[in-house]
Amino acid sequence: MSCNNDDAKASNEQKGPEKDMAKKTHGGEEIDRSVYSTNYTEFTLKKKADAKITLVRLLMLVVYIGIPVIVFTKAWYLGALTFLAVAIAWYFTWPFTNIEYEYTLSSGDWKFVKNYGQRKHITVLDKKIKDMKIIAPYTEENKQKFTKFAKTYDFRKSPKHTEDIYMAVFEENGADNLILFQCTNKALKIFQSYNKQNTVAVDTLHY
């Protein structure tokens, strides 16, 4: 099932015995679902269009509309062909300005996928919950427990997004890396199951 609030949705699906285990396909990549519902959840968040994405969209509109109009004024038959070519280009390129972040928790595995308009899906992170040094609300107090981060993986809809935002830290190549994401009650329970010692629970989550 899914929860919608503006552009966010969470999906926690009930699983039966092993014979009922299903798989979800993303562009040919199979994401295994857990046999038991208590071990699986997924959450999808649409990235808010920032200044860069807005600029790209405006440039695309200028190109996609301007070129066919100019060509049409010179030769209408070439303009018609240009409109057709632009329509095809629009179909394949515009989705790349619509970005969604999706994470799945399945039997201790934690995967983040970046979706481009449901056309292309890129796995950004694939980690184990047990390897996280901390999973806690994103506050200055929790952040200051670490000296610095080699890399920050920001899966929020925007830098100003604060509702239910959690942080997780994992070590890679001797350096700490930060994950910022929107947490749900179901996800929090799974974190506690696989990494209770390093998980900070709250009772104020909205989903």
Q: Any idea where the domains of the chain sit in the sequence?
A: 2-51+97-198, 52-96
Helices (H), 31-156: 51-74, 76-93, 140-143
Class of domain 2-51+97-198: mainly beta
Predicted pLDDT of residue 67: 76
What share of the chain in percent tops pLDDT 70? 79
Predicted pLDDT of residue 3: 44
Predicted pLDDT of residue 79: 67
Predicted pLDDT of residue 149: 97
- Compute the residue count for the chain: 207
Mean pLDDT of 21-29: 41
Predicted pLDDT of residue 29: 42
Q: How confident is the model at residue 37 (pLDDT cuts 50, 70, 90)?
A: low
Q: pLDDT digits over 109-127, tens only? A: 999 999 987 778 899 999 9
- Which sign, positive or negative, has the C-alpha torsion 96, 99, 194, 137? positive
Query: What rounded mean pLDDT belongs to the chain?
Result: 80
Q: 132: which residues sit within 8 A by CB, 6+ positions away?
A: 168, 169, 170, 191, 195, 198
Is residue 169 over pLDDT 50? yes
Predicted pLDDT of residue 14: 38
Q: 180: which residues sit within 8 A by CB, 6+ positions away?
A: 138, 152, 153, 154, 155, 156, 165, 166, 167
CA dist 94 and 64 (Å) reads 11
In three-state secondary structure terms, 164 is coil
CA dist 176 and 56 (Å) reads 33
